[in-house]
């Protein structure tokens, strides 16, 4: 089983749509959770951290369910500029604090 597993993509949605990405992780000792965004042929950039209480940043909402070892990212009113690959990332301190990346889910927002 992969340590971090994401929805296989790609997701093709029209502008204005709401899209949700799902991610599961295997190590119950994982402590920190993130969503990174990676544009084509560019480096990953932190989109948002994910907190147990859930958090929102504008059109983006992240949720964490520790019991189910599940993380989600919701994008509302999607824009063309949201087209990118979204990476689910988990930090597990008992593995030296290294980040484990999911394989990414590609999103393409069409006019």
Partner 1 sequence: ETGVTQTPRHLVMGMTNKKSLKCEQHLGHNAMYWYKQSAKKPLELMFVYNFKEQTENNSVPSRFSPECPNSSHLFLHLHTLQPEDSALYLCASSLTNVEQFFGPGTRLTVL
Residues in contact with partner 1 by CB under 8 A are 4, 32, 34, 41-46, 49, 87, 91, 96-99, 101-104
User: How far apart, in whole angstroms, are the C-alpha atoms of residue 63 and residue 42?
Assistant: 26
Provide the minimum distance between the beta carbon of 22 and partner 1 in the complex, in angstroms, as a whole number: 16
Task: Please say which residue, 5 or 76, places its beta carbon nearer to partner 1.
Answer: 5
Residues 6+ apart with CB under 8 A from 24: 4, 5, 68, 69, 70, 71
Task: Please say which residue, 37 or 63, places its beta carbon nearer to partner 1.
Answer: 37
């Amino acid at each position: 089983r992969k340590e971090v597993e994401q929805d296989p993509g790609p997701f093709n949605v029209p502008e204005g749509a709401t899209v949700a990405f799902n991610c599961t992780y295997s190590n119950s000792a994982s402590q920190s959770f993130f969503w990174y965004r990676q544009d084509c042929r560019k480096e990953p950039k932190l989109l948002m951290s994910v907190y147990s209480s859930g958090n929102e940043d504008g059109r983006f909402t992240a949720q964490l369910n520790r019991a189910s070892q599940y993380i989600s990212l919701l994008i509302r009113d999607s824009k063309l500029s949201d087209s990118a690959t979204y990476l689910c990332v988990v930090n597990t301190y008992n593995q030296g604090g290294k980040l484990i990346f999911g394989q990414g889910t590609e999103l393409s927002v069409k006019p």
